Structure 1
Amino acid sequence: MVGPPEVASRTDNTNGRALVGPNYNSGDSMTVESCITFCDAHVCGQAILNGGAPAPAGDCNMVCAGNPNQFCGGPNRLNVYNYTGTDLPAGPGGGGGGGGDPVGQPTPATDLPTPWTYGGCWVDNAFGRIGPVEKGGRPDQTVATCIAQCAADGYTLAGIEYANECFCGNTLVRGAVPAVESTCSMGCAGNNAQACGGPARLSVYTSTGEVVALPVPVAQTTELPGQWEYRGCLVEAVGKRILPNQILWPTNNSAVACMEQCAKFGFTAAGLEYGEECYCGDPTDIVAENGVFVADSQCDTPCPGDPLHICGSGNRLTTYFWNGVMNDWKRPANTGRYEFFVPGVIIPLIATVGVNNKVTFLEKHGTGYPNTTGAYELDISLAHDFSKAWREMHVQTDVFCAGSVILPDKAGRQINVGGWSLESTFGVRLYTPNGVEGVNSTNDWEENYPALKLQRGRWYPTASVLSNGTILIMGGQIGSNDRPEPSLELLPKPVGGSTVVHLDWLERTDPNNLYPFIVILPSQNIFVGYYNEARILDRNTFETIKVLPNMPGAVNNFLGGRTYPLEGAAVPLPQHAPYDDPLEILVCGGSTSGGGFAIDNCVRSAPEAENPEWIIERMPSRRVMPCMVSMPDGTVMIMNGAHHGEAGFGLAEDPNLTAVLYNPYDPVGSRFSILGSTIVPRMYHSEATLLPDGRVLVSGSDPQTNLPDGTPRYPQEFRIEVYVPPYLSEGRTQPTYDLPQHDWAYGQTYSITNVHLFHGTSANMRVSLIGATSSTHGNTMGARTIFPAFKCNGATCDIIAPRDAGVSPPGWHMLFILDGPTPSVAKWVRIGGDPARLGEWPNLPGFTPPGM
């Protein structure tokens, strides 16, 4: 290059690039000389366009990356150098009209693949880029290469600009208008004879024979779904999200789609950014981040799924608010309270209230706290006397992440199956509750491996009593962090036979399906929830009868899971005589793979309804590793867990300290009440279980999460708490009754006597049956809530037992009467007997069957 360069400062990119040409260069070693050398070889531009105008020299104040003694422009500013010689070099391609191969004026391509044709020259960037999808530039770009990219993605339009930039779409957007054909004068970078647009000009090709150009898009303010209202263009700080939940829809995002998705999951603010991004949150998020609304014109990017309307812009959100109450989360004056109950001697991971009203705790044995025996029993009535409250018990193998359930035999034995590794995973352990409150019991856990063992080793299995009284064991892994065991088996195992059934759907969803949720349905068939899926199994063959819709996950991640390790919790909702309505199941919390964003909703469905769907109900806070407790009044207590992470050692943080009550009888959107908070983080291996007096026992926490210096961030937790629910904290006296007969047959009538209501009458009295449960890892095995029919005459009330084993699988229940909202202290009743004759099993050394 000869002749001296001239330097000027000009504004750039206010309405488009000021210096337009087929090539540009960037790099960490940029200097004025290297830029001029590049332009010698490639032709950088021929004119100042798009409103480029002189600017004060001081605006070009950024030093060159390769020479700090030189200036290389500034924000939206160019240092421009003009060649004043007469021997302008020819570029290596592109450039038409400004150098290049002397082939004359480039023309539109004609050798096009069928059915593509030329669609004209169009003005670009008058109101924004008119090609919806930018594919970028390439040095060998031709009309054919651009068409190939667009056709591969299913687009019907292809446009080329600046010789090498390709755009795709089904329409032109942002008020595109035809241009004078001669202004598409730049040869393609890969074929100088073909016209590939020009400065602010797009050569357009179509596969349909027509080019549809849409007007300049506007924010959608009418025909909005539900109670949504447009609020304006919201500034978002660079690198920081003002609404927390991001959804990426590169091809189909629209204002309506975004609003509908946010509302479906209970969010009251929806924002759209960069065209393809949808965000869900609440107006309070915007207030918390000091959000600022600006002129609507600053949001100017069309929605890919609705190019007539705006979906924000760079760091600008087209924003909508829900005008109304979507989540009526109650904050009652009477919330109940957490109370410290008793110092602990164990870090339990399995908690079970026995039919003797005492609580058995199991913990890791051999891999847990030093010198533990792995088992203790707590006498609630002796909590005031620490020396007597706890009774040491013993297990032989490690119950770490085993499954438990209470049997329907006449003793109400507890069975524990599976465990940590090796022979522990085959473990079958039995405990017979005995003794009375106030006097230490004497029985201990019974175990004899290998005389009695599972057929398959299992870690993280679920146990359930089927409608025929046999014991179902499902799922797990073969040992600590080992291969899956995607099968079920039955106990008692027949002599010489096998009851193992392979389950391909558990194999497919490993490892996110441990501790699957199992509920016996009124048909006596079996509901199974695992990962984010659910199905119904035949009660005899265990073949799939119905595959249910997937359980919705998070608003921005449909793959959020509900079973361990993504760990939510599940319980069946109450059944009411005459039991004509299908049983509903409630699943709350969980997490998302990888990011560990805890799920902030519950889903509820009736699996045996004609067309079952999952209803989504947003919780007041996110929660992974929750515990759920079925309460005597039909409500469900939700407590424990964390706001972030997943189940496992050190994998969760930010404990959720606040209890929430779910009332299934209130309307959707009004079912949650925010209750009291604790100071004790209850993270991994924490439990909650209903006591016979109506309180909730809260125990455990074994997160093993340490600070950088090695000290515990969330310590292993020995303390035992109780939650006093609102129905007990308002000062009312609990009703009383006597239960002459504890063994009930299906459909028969039984009397309770000496019924004493202190506040109301039998007209507002209720009776509930709460199934005996064993709780671990958010899985409340055996949960059931039944409100039977009854009739009172004075102080005697006749109760009709549930009609069959579909309404109430055989087993033990706590019987409560409720004086208005206030429950009695429960008494235990067995319903349905022992049809599998478990009372005679196992007839092996080391075991003491209670008999029939």
Structure 2
Amino acid sequence: MNVKLILFAFLVGGMILLNEQTNVNALPASPLRARQDPGSTLGVFKIVGNSGVEAMHAVLVSPRKVVFIDKLEQNALKRPDGLSALSSEYDLDTNTVRPLGIYTNTFCSAGSWLGNGTLVEAGGDKGDANYGSGIQTVRLYDLSVGDWVELEGIAPSNRWYPAMATLPSGYVFVLGGSTAATGVNRAEINNPTYMIFPSPTGGALVDVPFPFLTTALPYNLYPMVHVIPNYEGATQLFIFANQNGIAYDLDNAKVIAEYPKIGGGIRSYPLTGSSIMLPLDPTNYYKPTIMICGGNVAYEVTSPADSSCGRLDLTTPNAAWDMDNFGGTGRVMPDSTFLVDGSILFINGAGMGFAGYRKGGGANALWVNENPVLFPYQYDPSAKTYKALSASTIPRMYHSVSTLVPDGTVLIAGSNPQGAVALNVKYPTEYRVEIFYPPYLYSQNPRPNIISLQTYPINQNRINVNYGQEVTMVVQIQSNGSPPSLKGCIIHHGFITHSQNMSQRYVYLEITNFWTDSTTANQYILTLKLPPNPTIIAPGPSYIYVFNGDSPPVSGVHVLLTQAA
């Protein structure tokens, strides 16, 4: 109870200050060369564990821990009080879970990180006799506590299916949603407002009108939000819903650009597509390009999923969408996940229908999402090409997730196209966790083994770094007869739910110096320059990587990116 009171007191007055020495688990020993497998050119899926709760939401909270969040339903994983857990912490080393203490309904909520490294999760649905209402609740996950703290009823309005994003200030933007559960939004329950958490004034949270979400009805739930990079440090947001996008100046509360309507289908829930900002590169001044893929053209059970993607350069005058065929496969509810080399894994989803629960039961059940797409595409943003990879055996449709793990693998979990836990049906409530080993893990190039950053050993604690800083890294790379060819990047892994990876971002880093360490065989010292300001990548927890050709490191480095004092 004291922890809750302290956290709340800090929040209403400003930002929480976490101890620099917040504990995270160190990585186990890993091979420096990738495993060899004759079938590995297309990647490999492996079922590794059980999520405990259905993985409607997922977030990497430390190098070897993922937190899953479900809704109010009867999961087999129990809290100490005997009630079903609504959230779990998954250990990637042991493939085991432990229940976490959420006591309000998290159904269709959202999340993002504060700049100080505290995870914020907000919204949800009404409760019952044992669980509180989550629809005006804000939840905090603090690594030093290892569990959730819930601030019930502090939001000024109900939010179900909102979007969230970390702002350059380190605060969190919470946008839209509806005031009650619904299949398709409608005017009487629409919430066309945003709030900023914690309150920038230090007082109560307030809602600010946002008319764009009214014009985007009825397909405006889980709107897509991306901070637009710029050198001026202005807080500008790309916001998209239905088939239209705008640029919004949050500092001055005004629309500064209206973009053309995207071709193809509708992209917002329940005709759900996925959006991603393509990797940002200092060599082209962090030029921002948005990519939006999948969805559907009609709210019909038998409607084939949309097989198109659009790319839009946000800084080109009179920019038009550059459309493609999404590799030739339609997907509704796809997930888009960055891989370490800057390519994108499009994974999960259905080939027909829309996001939602089956109607009826037994042999006559009508599944509103069907034809699961079992294989992912790997997309090369530079070449604009799609490569079909190995297929999973597990349908991952409504309420599925995917996230990059710092060792270069991808965790996939979830799928629950029904309102209550059901196991012996065509598409059951899915608890199995998979790890996907992308093709680059089978490269002949030796994997870098990052030893330290700024003299600190990696992944024992978050390492504090600053915007514009040049950081020194020590790396071991086994020799294969050729000198290493290194690139660097920093990735914010985001918060994943309903095909949206909130605040996910990839930024290439300039390697400003690189030399051989004469004291140790196969060891190198390099310096990397971090992005210049928090519009390029959000403040808070991210991971720094260096990769050798196409081969990722044994692990990225967990950092806390902040403004210098």
In the alignment, the residues of structure 2 paired with residue 833 and residue 793 of structure 1 have an alpha-carbon distance, to the nearest angstrom, of 28
Instruction: Write out per-residue CA displacement over residues 758-817 of structure 1, whole angstroms, 9 at most, x where no aligned residue.
Output: 447666211111113110000001111011101211111011110112222212211111
Determine which of 408, 411, 435 is the counterpart of 1:697.
411
| Counterpart secondary structure, 2:560 | strand
Contact 1:801 1:831 in 2 (8 A): no
The residue number in structure 2 matching 1:826 is 556
Instruction: Write out per-residue CA displacement over residues 301-349 of structure 1, whole angstroms, 9 at most, x where no aligned residue.
Output: xxxxxxxxxxxxxxxxxxxxxxxxxxxxxxx981112111113322110
Structure 1 gap segments, 5+ residues each? 1-331, 384-388, 435-441, 554-559, 836-852
In the alignment, the residues of structure 2 paired with residue 678 and residue 751 of structure 1 have an alpha-carbon distance, to the nearest angstrom, of 39
Determine which of 698, 714, 718 is the counterpart of 2:427.
714
Contact 2:294 2:308 in 1 (8 A): yes
In the alignment, the residues of structure 2 paired with residue 757 and residue 792 of structure 1 have an alpha-carbon distance, to the nearest angstrom, of 16
Q: How does 1:106-125 map to 2 (within 5 A)?
A: none
| Counterpart secondary structure, 1:425 | coil
In the alignment, the residues of structure 1 paired with residue 245 and residue 468 of structure 2 have an alpha-carbon distance, to the nearest angstrom, of 31
The residue number in structure 1 matching 2:35 is none
The residue number in structure 2 matching 1:342 is 49
Matched, 1:621 2:335: no
Pair member with larger Rg: 1
Change (3 A) 1:759 1:541: farther
Give the C-alpha shift of residue 492 in structure 1.
0.8
The residue number in structure 1 matching 2:515 is 793
Matched, 1:487 2:487: no
In the alignment, the residues of structure 1 paired with residue 63 and residue 444 of structure 2 have an alpha-carbon distance, to the nearest angstrom, of 27
Determine which of 287, 291, 296 is the counterpart of 1:582.
287
Matched, 1:603 2:315: no
Contact 1:404 1:414 in 2 (8 A): yes
Give the C-alpha shift of residue 353 in structure 1.
0.5
The residue number in structure 1 matching 2:87 is 375
Contact 2:43 2:436 in 1 (8 A): yes
| Counterpart code for 2:486 | M
| Counterpart secondary structure, 2:390 | strand
Structure 2 gap segments, 5+ residues each? 1-38, 78-82, 128-132, 359-367, 455-462, 517-523
Instruction: Write out per-residue CA displacement over residues 77-133 of structure 1, whole angstroms, 9 at most, x where no aligned residue.
Output: xxxxxxxxxxxxxxxxxxxxxxxxxxxxxxxxxxxxxxxxxxxxxxxxxxxxxxxxx
In the alignment, the residues of structure 1 paired with residue 56 and residue 87 of structure 2 have an alpha-carbon distance, to the nearest angstrom, of 10
The residue number in structure 2 matching 1:320 is none
Instruction: Write out per-residue CA displacement over residues 713-756 of structure 1, whole angstroms, 9 at most, x where no aligned residue.
Output: 21111111111100013465421112334222221211001442
In the alignment, the residues of structure 1 paired with residue 86 and residue 415 of structure 2 have an alpha-carbon distance, to the nearest angstrom, of 15
Determine which of 174, 188, 195 is the counterpart of 1:473.
174
| Counterpart code for 1:568 | G
Give the C-alpha shift of residue 704 in structure 1.
2.3
The residue number in structure 2 matching 1:540 is 251
| Counterpart code for 1:615 | D
Change (3 A) 1:472 1:761: farther
Matched, 1:448 2:159: no
Aligned residues: 477
Determine which of 544, 569, 573 is the counterpart of 2:274.
569
Contact 2:105 2:134 in 1 (8 A): yes
| Counterpart code for 2:330 | R
Determine which of 395, 398, 401 is the counterpart of 1:684.
398
RMSD: 2.3
Instruction: Write out per-residue CA displacement over residues 240-267 of structure 1, whole angstroms, 9 at most, x where no aligned residue.
Output: xxxxxxxxxxxxxxxxxxxxxxxxxxxx
Q: How does 1:85-104 map to 2 (within 5 A)?
A: none
In the alignment, the residues of structure 2 paired with residue 366 and residue 705 of structure 1 have an alpha-carbon distance, to the nearest angstrom, of 8
| Counterpart secondary structure, 1:511 | coil
In the alignment, the residues of structure 1 paired with residue 418 and residue 167 of structure 2 have an alpha-carbon distance, to the nearest angstrom, of 36
Determine which of 434, 441, 448 is the counterpart of 1:735.
448
In the alignment, the residues of structure 1 paired with residue 217 and residue 452 of structure 2 have an alpha-carbon distance, to the nearest angstrom, of 46
Give the TM-score taking structure 1 as reference length. 0.54
Change (3 A) 1:834 1:352: farther
In the alignment, the residues of structure 1 paired with residue 94 and residue 530 of structure 2 have an alpha-carbon distance, to the nearest angstrom, of 33
The residue number in structure 2 matching 1:260 is none
Change (3 A) 1:746 1:343: closer
In the alignment, the residues of structure 2 paired with residue 616 and residue 684 of structure 1 have an alpha-carbon distance, to the nearest angstrom, of 25
The residue number in structure 1 matching 2:356 is 648
Contact 2:467 2:564 in 1 (8 A): no
In the alignment, the residues of structure 1 paired with residue 378 and residue 228 of structure 2 have an alpha-carbon distance, to the nearest angstrom, of 24
Contact 1:660 1:675 in 2 (8 A): yes
Q: How does 1:162-311 map to 2 (within 5 A)?
A: none
The residue number in structure 2 matching 1:504 is 211
| Counterpart code for 2:435 | V
Higher RCO, 1 vs 2 (CA within 8 Å, ≥6 residues apart): 2
Contact 1:570 1:628 in 2 (8 A): yes
Q: How does 1:275-424 map to 2 (within 5 A)?
A: 334-366=41-73, 371-383=83-95, 389-409=96-116, 412-421=117-126, 423-424=133-134
Amino-acid identity (%): 26
In the alignment, the residues of structure 1 paired with residue 94 and residue 488 of structure 2 have an alpha-carbon distance, to the nearest angstrom, of 28
Q: Judge which range, 527-536 or 724-733, deviates more.
A: 724-733
| Counterpart secondary structure, 1:426 | coil
The residue number in structure 2 matching 1:774 is 495
Give the C-alpha shift of residue 678 in structure 1.
1.1
Contact 2:57 2:70 in 1 (8 A): yes
The residue number in structure 2 matching 1:425 is 135
